[in-house]
Structures are given as structure tokens and as C-alpha cells.
Structure 1
Amino acid sequence: MPDHQRADARRNYARILTVAEEAVAAQGADASLEQIARTAGVGSATVRRHFPTRRALLEAVSRKRIEALSLRARELTGEGDSRDALLEWLSDVVAYCVSARGLAAALTYDGYELDPMYENSCSASLEQAGGPLLDRAVRDDAVTAGVTVADLIRLAVGVVLATEHHRDPATEADRLFRLAVVGLSPLRGAQGVG
């Protein structure tokens, strides 16, 4: 009987996640958890058992995208100019957040990061992946010392959230991100955005 319950729970989880991915893609981070439960054919309590918080659901929905961004960071580590590699990765983060509704919300910090129970696994994964890119750029004096990957993720998320209702959010987010980059590297700031 317990094996049957585990298999049933796995099926429920997969069904809820599939429905949630579609709902978040269509409605963004505020997709109705109750509607997700109804569409998945389960009760609200079942959704909350698998995903105790909205953030947990958004993180699960965003997991594949976070893995792709982490892989991209590893590919860029050690490639070409350290500043260019870091900025290329951050541009990818911005572009993914614009195209994947809910990803920016999954990356936001809302005060829970101090409680390990509510650790933001999406942000933690990106911080770990982007660390070597940033470390190399700082060692090369291409980025100001003291900047953290968490700072850069917050910057990317802020730009995405500020432009999500713009007529052309992708173009506007890219433009604002590049504008912010000028301040990232005082040594090159006067030369424009690279």
C-alpha cells in the first residue's frame, strides 16, 4: 500500500507541475493555486502538500530554466574576456526572466532567505553558477570588488520586473540592463556598454 501511495503522489506531483507550468506561462507568478488544483484534478491541500509556498511552486516550475542558466555559466567560465563572459551570462539571465513568466518572481528576495527553511534554491543555484564568472572578472579588475552575484541577480530581476508591462519588455529590459552595466565597471564605464 505505501508503494502505491508513493506512485500516486509522484503522479499527482507531475500532473500539478505540468498544469502549473502552463498556468504560470499564461498568467505569470500570480497564477491561481486553486485553479491549478482544479485543472490538475486534485484538492488544494494536495497542491500545498507538494508545494507549501507559492515560491516552492515557482521554483519547481523554473527548475529547468535555472539548470540551463547554470550550464551556460559553466560554459562561459574561462572563455574570452572575463567581463564580456559575465555580461553575456547576465544578459541570458535577463532574457530568460523576460521570456519565462514567473522566473523573475522565483528569483526575488522577500526576506525569507535568512531562514534556511525558505532558502531560495533558484537564486542559490544561480549564485553558485555565476560565482566563478564574477570572481574571474573581479580578479581581472573588470568588475568592481565587492559586487556579489546576489547583487547582480537582484539587478537583473529588478530590470525584468520594472519592464514586464512594457509594450516590448524584452527590448526595454535589455536596454535598461545595458544602461545599468555602465556603472558595473568604472574602468570601462566611459567607453560604453560592452
Structure 2
Amino acid sequence: MAGSQTKQQARKTTDARPLRADARRNRDRLVEVAAAAFAQSGVDTSLEAIARQAGVGIGTLYRHFPVREALIEAVYRHEVEALVAAAEELARTKAPDEALAEWMQRFVGYIATKRGMRDSLRLLLESKSPLFAETSGLVPRTFTGLMENAVKAGKIRADADSADVLHALSSIYSASDGPDWQQRSRRLVSLIMDGLRYNAPESGGQR
């Protein structure tokens, strides 16, 4: 997998000014809380509520993110970084097929946050924000690495194409909204994983 190189690419545009440890913790906490809020309620979530849940004042939020769009960019970049980091951690600690299966479930959370920001991300794209060029390819390369590990270990079928599987996973982005959207998406991901395991060399022809 891309390893440290992908981490450097994903973090390339993080605020260049060094932050004190407490300021860094506050910033990271704001991004984490905002990611969960955007996934749940969209980007119109009150910034005051985000600051309050993160345990900081609204002034602290605005010092880090002077405009809402800056917070949205930081959240999107954070979600991509988190997927890359999760893949590296899972590859070290899990069997290749288990690492792939767990990462695919985490991908649902990434899509949930992205759906919550869809209109704002579209505007950022139209404004020629460098965000997408800086993060482009990180998720597909990360996924390809996990798939290759599982194929080499004989845990998934060798004829599976990572681009095809990622396309199928990404289709949940446009699925209809509903209170059970994430549950349905996670079940679909489990079915996709079952299909990848079917007829794998190490499966004895069955899962």
C-alpha cells in the first residue's frame, strides 16, 4: 500500500502554521465532532452546537475555521486520511479478508459524512478548490492495496477487480435517504464481501 507517501499527500494542505498541543487537540476535536454532525444532520448543523459538543467556545472554532467552508474542507480531508490510516492499521492487525471487510464497513461511515456535505462539496468543486486534486486517488489506491493483500492470501476470489468493487461500494452514495440508510448500506457491503469470498482458494469453494 502507499503507506507514508499517501499520508503525506493527504496532509499536504493542512494548516502550515505549527499549533500548540492544546490548539491541535481542539482543532482535531472540532473536526471529529463536525464529521459526525454532518453525517447525521448535514452541513447546516449549528456551528455553536459543534463547538459546544467539542468542549470549546465558538471563538475557538472560528479561529481555526473562519468560514464554514474551511471546516467542511477539513472534515472531508480528515475522512480521507482516516480511511487511509484505518487501512494501514487493519492490514497490520487483521487477516487480509477481515481487514478488507472491516474497512469496507468503515467506508459506509465515510460515505455518510460525504452525503451530508454533498451540496457544499459540489460548490467547492465548482470553485476549483484544490481539495479534490490533493486527495484524488487516495481512497482507490488504499482499497486496491487491501484487495491485493486478500487475493494474495487466497481469501477472496482472484478475478475480482478493485475498481469494479469500489464502484459498487460507491453506489450507496446515491441511494435513497431514510432512517435505515446506514443499516441497509452495511448489509449491502456484507453481501459484497460474501461475493468476494465465494470460490476463493482458501475457502474450499464456499464461505
Label 1:18 to 1:186 Cα distance change in 2 as closer, same or farther (>3 A): closer
**Aligned-residue CA RMSD (Å):** 4.9
2-structure distance, mates of 1:44, 1:134:
44
Q: Which structure is richer in relative contact order (CA contacts within 8 A, separation 6 or more)?
A: 2
How many pairs does the alignment contain?
A: 171
Matched residue, 1:143: 158
SS in 1 for 2:180: coil
SS in 2 for 1:158: helix
One of 9, 13, 19 as aligned partner of 2:30: 19
2-structure distance, mates of 1:44, 1:142:
49
Q: Deviations over 1:137-179 (max 9, x none)?
A: 6x7882315x12x443443343476377342733x23332243
SS in 1 for 2:65: helix
Using the size of structure 1 for normalisation, the TM-score is 0.54
Structure 2 unaligned residues grouped into runs of 5+: 1-16, 52-57
Q: Answer yes or no: is 1:167 the counterpart of 2:167.
A: no
SS in 1 for 2:175: helix
1-structure distance, mates of 2:116, 2:166:
12
Label 1:12 to 1:159 Cα distance change in 2 as closer, same or farther (>3 A): same
Label 1:99 to 1:118 Cα distance change in 2 as closer, same or farther (>3 A): closer
Q: How does 1:23-172 map to 2 (within 5 A)?
A: 23-28=34-39, 30-32=42-44, 35=47, 39=51, 40-42=58-60, 46-47=64-65, 54-61=72-79, 63-64=81-82, 66-76=84-94, 79=95, 85-86=96-97, 88-98=98-108, 101-102=112-113, 117-120=133-136, 123=139, 126-127=142-143, 129-136=145-152, 142-144=157-159, 147-148=161-162, 150-159=163-172, 162=175, 165-167=178-180, 169-170=182-183, 172=184
Structure 1 unaligned residues grouped into runs of 5+: 80-84
Q: Is the 8 A contact 1:73 1:130 kept in 2?
A: yes
Q: Is the 8 A contact 2:80 2:135 kept in 1?
A: no
Q: Report the Cα offset of residue 92 of structure 1.
A: 0.9
Identity of aligned residues (%): 14
Structure 1 segments of 4+ aligned residues over 6 angstroms from their partners:
103-106
SS in 2 for 1:143: coil
Q: Answer yes or no: is 1:176 the counterpart of 2:188.
A: yes
Q: Report the Cα offset of residue 123 of structure 1.
A: 1.0
